[in-house]
Structure 1
Amino acid sequence: MLIFRHISATQGQDFMKFAYFVRPHIGGTYSVFKQLRAGLAEKDVDVHWMSIDSPGSVHDDQWLPEFSYGSLVQVHGGMTERDQAETLVQALEDGGFDGIFINVLSERILTNIARYLPEKFLRIMIVHNITAGTYSAAKAIRNHVHATIGVSERIRSDLVRKLDFPAHRTFVIPHAAGSSSTRDIRREANMSDILRLIFLGRIEDASKGVFWLPEILSHLPQTVHLTVAGDGPDLGNLKDKLSPHLHRVTFLGAVHPEKVHNLLLQHDVLIMPSRYEGFGLTITEAMSAGCIPVVSRIRGVTDTIIDDGTNGFLFPIGNSREAAQIVAQIHSNAETAQWLSDAAQCKADATFTLEIMAERYLNVIRNVKADPINIAAPLRMEEWAMPRGLRSGLRTLVPRPLKNWLRVVRERI
């Protein structure tokens, strides 16, 4: 659990206040907010989440404590997008914010607002994924942000080489694996004959490749038990596909972020057969808990987190048989498994720390503040419009099976 402290403006001349555009939810972008708020609080940067409370929004009681660290901007059903954008800008003004972290495609208005913000606001774009839609949205606001952060080497490389993002203002900052307090909790050895395999994440086949899980499990001995932790649109179909193996499968549903570390401590191997990832926060969380990652190889992403064969394993996307063989090898040698577990935890503790992540974000903020380069002048709110990159394009018409096949081919090439 991350512990936050309040920062007052009297604590230092360099005190700054940033809004982070997101709403509380189970997912990577909100986990990153929690990490940033905790890490930057020690460096006189106060980070609050902010989003638009759209009509009909469902408010889950489990997230009520998070409202101590952020707020929803109230809008009503009769408001146009421009009205909502104006209300959001006013909330930033009233809140005394100096800058904004913009998560590309977290929400259309929250992304497009970068083009209309008053000049006094520092704006830093965070790109979390490697999809064409994400890149198009990032390009649409490229000239209206002071800096761009890609969460993996792949993202920065693609933005600079393919989309002409300025190299000196485009950075790589990987996510942290957790707080210092979670890293102090160590796992107990598995004394049973059962290997505890876990999938943790959104239950969606297009990105996460969850429909490969039944095939992977079918190649594994009966002494391997699979836990599926998460929720998503393909959960029902996945349960059907795993029905022949239900005697050795447990479905947990969505898991609150505060419970993730303890859950991973109770499992031996993380299986992640994703077709694409921007980073793979779950991998570093697993490594931090000594849960050995067995993950599909995604160039510039997973291969920058895992040293294949040393602190985890990589397999070709969609190669269920090879994934199963790796898991079976881990299961067959307890001594090797322990060595891999220790190595994974050591890599996470040394590389993917909250302190390192916060220091890198702070350096970006300081550079932007010290040398506020000229960016495109803000557009007039009266001319509010969604650019092409934030509108639905022809790619939405491509059938999912074809998209999935193209993604696999792209990564294997």
Structure 2
Amino acid sequence: MTRIALVVYGMLGGGIETFLLNLGAYLKCCQYDVTIVTTNCLGNWFERIAQMGLEEIYVPGLNSVEPLEHVSRVSKVLYDGEFDIVFSNHALFAQIGIGTGKANPVVIPIVHGTDEYCARIGTYNAGLCDHIVAVSPAVKKTVERINKHYKCDVILHGIPKANVDIAIERDFFLSTIKLMYVGRISNSDKGVFLLPPIVKTLIDDGLKVTLDVVGDGSDKGQLKELFQNNGTEKFVKYWGMLSSEQVRALMHSAHILLFPSYMEGLGIAPIEAQLCGCIPVASRLTGATDCTIQDKKTGFLVDHGEVKQFSQAIKQLYFDRPLLMRMSQQAKDYAEIHFSIERMGDQYHKLIQMALENKSENKLVSERNDPQKGLEKFTDKKVILWGTGAGCEWLCKMIPFEAFYFVDNNPLKWQCYFRGRPICSPQTLLQEHADKIMIIIASHSYMEEISMQLSQMGFNEDEHFTNIFKILEPELLLRYDLNFRT
């Protein structure tokens, strides 16, 4: 029996973990031996692995050993002969250990996000892998921007059919429309602070609505304050973390799912909602939500951050109940055809078979990430760091050279000093001779945006600017990730 490891940072509870449980259950039905392995922590959802009938392994001891020693522990579990296929899901300890074990399993990274920092985590040492999976065209675009030579396949998520026996069917002609949000309560990526003004706009316009908020996160307290401050808290109910079955039950009674994200790899919640007949009103994210929602047929796609557009879409459904009913059925039919667990699982099954048949026995050591190659670029060059946050402060203590000055997009910081050096406008870089400087992007949150900004200014990546993945040795990269990954 083929042995498969699905590897993840921890079963923290969210889209990646839902995907792993669904994929693991399907592959088990296909007679694979499936184990979910967590490399950093257990997570709140760890017990769900056994509940799904899957095997579980947690690699303990991260806080008691040096990072590279923990890499060795993870590698011993994954790469010493226990598994034939390893699917790594943004698990940096697993990525760094690729090619270091006694055996040679097939390793396939699955990249879930368009954020460049996380995508680089997901593709670290991917040169040693025969395949990479991206969960959407948008993610594939990010992966190929990192390295155009990577072979990357897109496999969209699939969802098991809802168990209608536990669901409460919705009433389309209730005077009150039930809204719902499902996901991590975080504003920087999920846009949850848009929820209070959306609800406020609807209430002020005379609509009767309620909002169920499912999930948890660092911005939950501030979200509650925003609802309290605009006087709409009585229309909101917080459910915290729920099981998949409980989420499905709520989706079967809700009319509309709000999905105001600023960034998504793909987004499982809109797929789940449509499968339950709950209509998504979502941010239009090219290569992500426009791949899962048919605009004005199975849901509505609006410009992200636009409260007015979210509100108008909801009003259209509120005042046209036959449209609400029709789109609900269309959403359900669409999701059942295009996002079934069988469709996704079959693609992974074929990938596994192909990967085993075409397995590369001798992976080239030269394909490993080598930060020392990046350091060669700093000989006789003026080093400039872009970023002035906590991550940059930490980085300055680790790199063997001093920054000549710092750059930041925040004009309030210009003319100020950071670690005794001036903070300058990005325009200052245009006064430099490009071939005599090396710019290090020291902001992981805006790595992609800064890279694009530098390219538009005429600088070339690897020639004139670089990032932490290309200069930090594995141990330091692990320490950075443990401290600053959000």
**Does structure 2 retain, via aligned residues, the 8 Å contact 1:183–1:288?**
no
User: What amino acid does structure 1 have at the position aligned with 2:94?
Assistant: L
Contact preservation (8 Å) 1:117, 1:378 = no
Q: Could you tell me which of 289, 294, 297 is aligned with 1:310?
A: 297
Query: In the alignment, which of 195, 201, 211 is matched to residue 219 of structure 1?
Result: 201
Q: Would the aligned equivalents of 1:294 and 1:315 in 2 still touch at CA under 8 Å?
A: yes
Root-mean-square deviation (CA, aligned residues, Å) is 3.3
Give me the whole-angstrom Cα distance separating, in 2, the residues matched to 1:115 and 1:281. Answer: 32
CA contact (8 A) 1:48 1:70 kept: yes
Map 1:268-283 → 2, pairs under 5 A: 268-283=255-270
List structure 1 segments (4+ residues) > 6 angstroms apart after TM superposition.
57-61, 183-186, 383-388, 398-404
Q: Secondary structure at the match of 2:98?
A: helix
The answer as to whether partners of 1:200 and 1:282 remain within 8 angstroms in 2 is yes
Q: Which residue of 1 aligns with 2:22?
A: 35
In the alignment, which residue of structure 2 is the partner of 1:182?
163
Change (3 A) 1:347 1:264: same
For residues 80 and 380 of structure 1, the distance between their equivalents in structure 2, rounded to whole angstroms, comes to 25
Map of 1:247 onto structure 2: 234
Match of 2:223 among 217, 220, 238: 238
1:352-393 deviation line (CA, Å, top 9, x unaligned): 011011110111111111112477435899x998998xxx99
The aligned residue for residue 228 of structure 1 is 213
Which residue of the other structure, out of 180, 185, 191, is the alignment partner of 1:203?
185
- 1:50 paired residue number: 37
Residues 39/59 of structure 1: CA separation in 2 closer, same or farther (3 Å cut)? closer
The equivalent of 2:118 in structure 1 is 134
SS of structure 1 residue aligned to 2:349:
helix
Would you say the 8 A contact 2:50–2:56 is kept in 1?
no
Which has the higher Rg, Structure 1 or Structure 2? 2
Look up the SS of the partner of 1:294 in the other structure.
Answer: strand
For the structure 1 residues 292 and 387, does the alpha-carbon distance in structure 2 shift closer, same or farther, using more than 3 Å as the test? farther
1:203-233 deviation line (CA, Å, top 9, x unaligned): 0000000111111112113401111111000
Match of 1:9 in 2: none
Tell me, in whole angstroms, the C-alpha distance in 2 between the residues paired with 1:213 and 1:357. 32
Counting matched residue pairs gives 382
Say if 1:312 and 1:387 are closer, same or farther in 2 by CA, change over 3 A: farther
Identify which of 100, 103, 108 aligns with 2:89.
103
2:418 is matched with which residue? none
Question: Partner residue of 2:318?
Answer: 331
Quote how far apart the aligned CAs of 1:187 are: 5.6
How far apart are 1:339 and its partner, in Å?
0.4
Answer whether contact 2:87 2:107 (CA < 8 A) is retained: yes
Identity %: 24
Give the TM-score, by structure 2 length.
0.71
Structure 1 residues 358, 82: CA separation in 2 closer, same or farther (over 3 Å shift)? same
Residue 81 (1) aligns with residue 44 (2) = no
Query: Structure with the greater relative contact order (CA < 8 A, sep ≥ 6): 1 or 2?
Result: 1
Secondary structure, counterpart of 2:104 in structure 1: coil
Task: Indicate how the Cα distance of structure 1 residues 25 and 387 shifts in structure 2: closer, same or farther if over 3 A, else same.
Answer: farther
CA contact (8 A) 2:167 2:248 kept: no
The two structures have a TM-score, normalised by structure 1, of 0.83
Aligned-partner Cα distance in 2 for 1:276–1:379:
34
Contact persistence 2:179–2:211 (CA under 8 A): yes
Shift of 1:139: 4.4
- Match for residue 346 of structure 2 among 359, 367, 371: 359
**8 Å Cα contact 1:112/1:386 also seen in 2:** no
Query: C-alpha offsets along residues 275-332 of structure 1, whole Å, 9 cap, x if unaligned?
Result: 0000010010101110000000000110111110000000001111011010011111
Counterpart of 2:190, as a letter, is K
Hey, what's the Cα distance between the residues in 1 that align with 2:370 and 2:68? 6
The Cα of 1:163 is off from its aligned counterpart by 2.5
Q: Would you say 1:291 and 2:278 are equivalent positions? A: yes
**Correspondence 1:153-172 to 2 at 5 A:** 153-160=137-144, 163-166=147-150, 169-172=151-154
Q: What amino acid is aligned across from residue 348 of structure 2 in structure 1?
A: Y
- Selected match of 1:92 from 55, 71, 78: 78
**Per-residue deviation at 1:45?**
2.1
Say whether the 8 Å CA contact 1:145–1:375 is kept in structure 2: no
How far residue 193 of structure 1 moved from its aligned partner, in angstroms, is: 0.7
Supply the distance in 1 between the matched residues of 2:242 and 2:410 (Cα, whole angstroms): 27
